[in-house]
Every structure is written in C-alpha cells, then in structure tokens.
Amino acid sequence: MTDQHIAENISIEMSGSAGIVTIDRPESHNAMTKAMWDALVPALLEVQNLGAHVVVIKGTGKTFCAGADFNDLGQIHDEQSANAQWLSIKHALDELKSFALPTVAMINGSCMGGGCLLAMACDLRYAVKTARFSIPIAKLGIVLDDANILRLMSLVGPAVASEMLYTGASISAAEAEMVGLINRALDPEDLPLYVNEICNAIYQNGRASVYETKCSIARILSHAHPEGALAAFDDQRRVIESYLSPDFQERIRRRQ
C-alpha cells in the first residue's frame, strides 16, 4: 500500500500487520506543528481501521522528532492560543498512551522535547545508537503536566527524571537504554529489521492476550501511579500560563 497523507506532514501506510505512522517534515527535523499534533489521533484510528495489529511511529530522515515547532510556539500571545497549543499536544499524547493497539516508537535519530514525550507515550521504544534524548522544558521556561512527568518517572525513576527535567540536558541512546527510557539501542541498519521482528512477534501471538496484557499493565500502573487521580490537583492552567510567561516568550524569541 502506498503512503496515505492524513495531514501535510503525517502519513500512514501498512507494512504487513503493522500500521506505520510517519512524521514527515525532515527539513524542520520533524518538528510537530499544531496541525500535525491534531492529525496524530486520526492517523492512529485510520491504521486501526485498515487492520493493523500494531502501530509503529517513526520519523523521516535522520531525526525522530525535534518536538513542538518553534514557529508555532512563537505565535502564542494570549490565553486562547496557549490553551489551543497545549491541549492539542496533550490530547495527542493522552490518546496515544491509551490507544488499544500496541504502539512502538522507532527512533531513527534525535528525540527531543515533545518528540521524547511522543516516544514515552508508546508502549515500546527502540532507537539507533546515535540518538539523543531530552525534555528541555526548563530551558524554555515552561512546565509539564503531572501525567507526562509521571510517564517519564515510571520509566526512569524520580532521580533520573529530576535530573533530565531540571537540567534539560540530553542523554545518549546508551544512557537511555541503561536507565529504561528505551528498550534497546541498535545500529542504524538493524533498527528497522529489529522493529519488524517485534511487530511480527506481536502479530503471531494471540491478539486478545496482547490486548488484555496491555490493559493489565495500564491498570497496575494506575494503582501504583494513579495518573487518573492527578486530575484532582493537576490544573492544566499552570501549564498553559507558563506559555504566556515573559521568560518563555523571551526564550522563544531567541530561538526563532
């Protein structure tokens, strides 16, 4: 099947049992515009409708995803635009995290900011050995909601999560594998082959078993780390207001 474009820079295709969702904006290191965040959930639903048993998210070129588009962020000047930008990102990540099919991030290069959040929302993460990972919210002067910080903490633990978020520093694929942020770091030529093997292994197993296992993991994590309960005190307004802070506005101007 040929590529089908869901939005200008988001395409889908079927490869055997796998639905491939491609972030296709290599000239901007696959930075995600609001339109691309909005297109992510329709892309997931479309490959599900086409019969996918597993979903792979990958980037075009030598970058997985550089995060949110700085030009989009530079257009945030009032509460309405800040609200629209953040809630678009949050909706895409939350829906990806809870999606019914197994999800795999095939990380072919740098995985920064929102790109790292995107990978963390997947069930499995495999990366090239040259990939680097960061969530530089402190360098931008913004904050994350508790749900996204919880996803990081549940993978790497509070100490590593604190270091990554406080410093905004990047870590290598070897470090990411060591701390549990990714499942495995591979040579570039081995990455697509290995991900294909993972997808085939999932396909050959009982579909109901895989689905119920995913549901069980989500339930167990919800008890150990009650993400759903966070809504009681995790006011999204503090995230939205951080996009309107003079600190963020100045830092974005410097990067444009």
Q: Which residue has the tokens 């294909």?
A: 196
Judged against a pLDDT cut of 80, whether residue 228 lies above it is answered with no
Q: Mean pLDDT, to the nearest integer, of 171-189? A: 98
Q: Is the dihedral of CA 235, 95, 108, 5 positive or negative?
A: negative
Shortest CA distance to 95 belongs to which of 152, 41, 48, 165?
41
Sign of CA dihedral 104, 109, 115, 120: positive
Which letter, b or e, does each residue of 196-226 get, where b requires 16 or more Cβ atoms within 10 Å of its Cβ? eebbeebbeeeeeebeeebeeeeeeeeeebe
Q: Are 24 and 10 in contact, with CB atoms under 8 Å apart?
A: yes
Residue 251: its pLDDT value, please? 87
- Higher pLDDT: 223 or 69? It is 69
CATH T-level topology, domain 4-189+201-206+227-255? 2-enoyl-CoA Hydratase; Chain A, domain 1 (3.90.226)
Residue 42 has pLDDT above 60, yes or no: yes
Domain extents in the chain: 4-189+201-206+227-255
A 10 A CB-CB count for 242 gives 18
Q: CA separation (Å) from 194 to 15, 103, 137, 147, 183?
A: 14, 15, 32, 30, 12
Sign of the torsion angle spanned by Cα atoms 136, 138, 144, 148: positive
Residue-level pLDDT at 232: 47
Q: Residue with structure tokens 């759903």?
A: 228
Structure tokens at 174: 């070897």
pLDDT of 233 strictly over 70: no
Structure tokens at 21: 């969702």
Summarize pLDDT for 52-98 with one digit per residue, the tens. 999 999 999 999 999 999 989 888 889 999 999 999 999 999 999 99
Amino acid at 71: N
